[in-house]
Amino acid sequence: MSEAKKLKANYYALDDRTAQMELLADNLDKIPSLPDDLLFEVVDLYNCYNIDYQTEDIQKIFKIALDELCNRKKAIAIQKRGYCYYAGTKIYPTDWIKARDSFIKHYSMTGDPNSANTLGYIFYYGRTNNGIPEYKKAFKYFSIGNLGGAVESKYKLADMFYHGYYVKKNVALAYNIYRQMYGSLLISFLEKKYWCEFADIALRIGRYFYEGQYSILEEAYKYYLQADLAIRKRMAYNKYYGDTSVFRNIQTSLNEVRDKYFRENPKSLKYYLYDFELIEKVLVSGRICKATYKMLKTGELQLTFTLLRDLNAYGVDSLRFLITIPSADYCEVKEKLELKTEGFENIFIASDRFYLDETDEKRSFIFTSIYYEDFGDFEEPIEFYFYNKRVASISCRNIYFTAPKKKNNTIKHHFVRVVFDNGYRTYDYLCDDLTVKVGDTVVVNTDRGEVNVRVVEVLDMLESELLLPFEMYKKIERKI
């Protein structure tokens, strides 16, 4: 039996991943002789996002196996190594030339629109041309990526029309593309698909309203708030390459518009609705909303709305509301939307309406659309329909939402900036120990257990100054 076959047999005789990796670490020179299926099994668990957090032995095994698969011209391995060069890792430091060549090769082998999309980014930002953009090539590859369904390619093409890069400038066309994407991505976001590109589109629409011929600060601020919420949830979900830059761009835009907006508009937690956009935007594709009502001691009506998937799956995989109130500096997603009336007159509930169960009969109704006219003046009642049947109507002077008070964001937090052994990147950690200073060794918790790291900087920062959402930062365990 050959050495490779013996190693493979011994590998599969072990049922513990750690033991398998230890076996390979003791036989690094034999890894290139292993068959494709075993090599793919070795590299499949790792990528450009998590390989830096693995042990040095696993990093060596990963590199040897991935390089061998690339030597064998395995397309998926070539793409994976390209992403490592693109993002930059300890074993594959950032190399734009190698990244470009990897994706060109992978695209020529497979026609994969995702590789075309990544090539579009490389050329758009001039990564391999001394920082000088190559817009003609970027347009080509973004066009391919767009036709192949790559969402990023679509909004990057819109960006090129927005700025007039390689194509004739056409802001209206760019905005139309952004708006088309906004609707579908909003639904994805409200379905808790936080990895989607909703933050990128909201940022661009905010920019359109801020930089446009007629700057509309409230609209700009609304979309920047949505972008801020979306990028925080995306970064909490996973660490994607480039999201730190997106987060910083959003924070810069948000802070700039916030200052101007609140110089011209007073803060207010009470938001009067001039339409039912909060609900109507998500009443699409057959989705249904349940309304529960209650009379308050003040004589006003409280309405609570909950979105449902469809008639056969009440409460299962339901959507949520995106509530954005610029005047309150507030944006959040909620399972329920609670509104109150002002100047309540009466409510009509159809006796033969459809309701969910007997307990709901006297206090709720479900609907698929809302009709209102001269909303805000309330000359006509607000009507709720279940398809073509009117199930309820409400007459009142106003309806409003009250946002919660925003927490104080002027507090500075104490951080230490550290480097790992043999590392070149720095990482920020919250630090409660004020005695920690530059040069100290501290212990941090990682995916591979506790690790000693060296402090290279001590700093105090506001949340608005952070490179990541505050909730993503870990604390140091202790000083050594």
In three-state form (DSSP H/G/I as H, E/B as E, the rest C), the secondary structure along 150-216 is CHHHHHHHHHHHHHCCCCCCCHHHHHHHHHHHHHHHHHHHHCCCCCCCHHHHHHHHHHHHHHCCCCC
DSSP 8-class letter at 475: B
The pLDDT, as a whole number, for residue 316 is: 43
Residue type, 54: Q
User: Rounded distance, CA 176 to CA 102, Å?
Assistant: 34
**Which CATH class name applies to 3-255?**
mainly alpha
How far is the CA of 342 from the CAs of 172, 244, 272, 279, 405, in angstroms? 39, 43, 10, 19, 21
* Number of neighbours of residue 469 by Cβ within 10 angstroms: 18
User: Rounded distance, CA 215 to CA 272, Å?
Assistant: 23
Q: Return the SS3 of 404.
A: coil
Structure tokens at 25: 């670490």
With tokens 């494709």, the residue in question is 36
User: Rounded distance, CA 158 to CA 454, Å?
Assistant: 44
User: Rounded distance, CA 161 to CA 137, Å?
Assistant: 15
The pLDDT, as a whole number, for residue 378 is: 54
What are the domain boundaries of the chain?
A: 3-255, 271-402, 413-479
CA atoms within 13 A on the CB side of 362: 2
User: Rounded distance, CA 79 to CA 101, Å?
Assistant: 10
The pLDDT, as a whole number, for residue 62 is: 97
Burial of 353 (0-12, 13-18, 19+ CB in 10 A): middle
Structure tokens at 174: 């760019």
The tens-digit pLDDT sequence of the chain (480 residues) is 688 889 999 999 988 889 999 999 999 999 999 999 999 999 999 999 889 888 899 999 999 999 999 999 999 999 999 999 999 998 999 999 999 999 999 999 999 999 999 999 999 999 999 999 999 999 999 999 999 999 999 999 999 999 999 999 999 999 999 999 999 999 889 888 999 999 999 999 999 999 987 789 999 999 999 999 999 999 888 777 788 889 989 989 998 998 889 887 778 888 888 777 777 776 766 678 889 999 999 999 999 998 876 544 444 456 788 999 998 889 999 989 999 999 999 998 887 665 555 455 568 888 988 888 755 555 678 899 998 899 999 998 888 999 987 766 678 889 999 988 766 678 889 998 899 999 899 999 876 678 888 898 888 888 777 777 787 788 998 988
What strands lie across the sheet with 449-461, from one edge to the other? 426-430, 413-419, 449-461, 441-446, 478-479
The pLDDT, as a whole number, for residue 424 is: 61
Instruction: Provide the terminal-to-terminal Cα distance of the chain, rounded to the nearest Å.
Output: 51
